[in-house]
Amino acid sequence: MKPPRVVVLPLIACLLMFAGCSSTIMTVDSDDPRTGKSTHKVYSKYYDEGRWLIPNHVGIVAVVDHEKTRVPVVYDAQRFMGALGPDDSQAMGKMTIYIWNFDSQPHAVKILRITSGSEVIAPQNGIINALPNTKTGAIAGRIKIFDSGIKIPMMIEYELNGRRSKIDLVLPRRTEEDLAKYFGPGGVPPYPWGRTGNKIQ
């Protein structure tokens, strides 16, 4: 009698199929002991926050796109066996800076440096030329972020109209519900100009 044959190929094929999947969406379930109610949040891969540079005229938005890719089956197995290392808590985030220009004249904003914890981005050519009534973006660089984080604090140093200044931002990780609410059809961006009704023509 022949011993049973162990079929390995389907498992390998399964792992390879999952190898290209991006695990940049995070699901969090929690219970409130006071109310007994459960909450279910699905976080997207986007962090963002906006602030006025010139009230009612020029705004800035920082966006971080969570980029970590891993093999879900392998990652879950490693986590179960306690085989994850310090690097497994890290991810990379692509940072894009947008300038919202509500003026009838152009504005040039130079991004000098972006600092988030020990991470520093100093763009070689950080000038963003924002035409009248437009939103203009430019990739600033990449930073290390926490894989399961829900906010990113940072400081942006910039130059506008010959004056240097800086702003502190805390970028929340948007949930799928946030994206639909703020950026879906009829949505109002969660930035100061969204609350005041300023719009790009």
Task: List pLDDT tens digits, range 9-56.
Answer: 333 333 333 333 345 788 887 777 888 788 889 999 999 999 999 999
Domain borders along the chain are 9-196
Q: Taking a C-beta distance cutoff of 8 angstroms, is the pair 180, 174 a contact?
A: no
State residue 199's pLDDT score: 84
What pLDDT, on the 0 to 100 scale, is given for residue 34? 83
Residue for token digits 């005229």? 57
The pLDDT score that the predictor gives to residue 201 is 66
Alpha-carbon distance values, 97 to 61, 156, 158, 163 (Å): 6, 10, 11, 19
pLDDT number for residue 7: 38
37 vs 101, which has greater pLDDT? 101
CA distance 63 to 191: 12
Comparing C-alpha atoms, which of 126, 95, 108 is closest to residue 58? Answer: 108
Class of domain 9-196: mainly beta
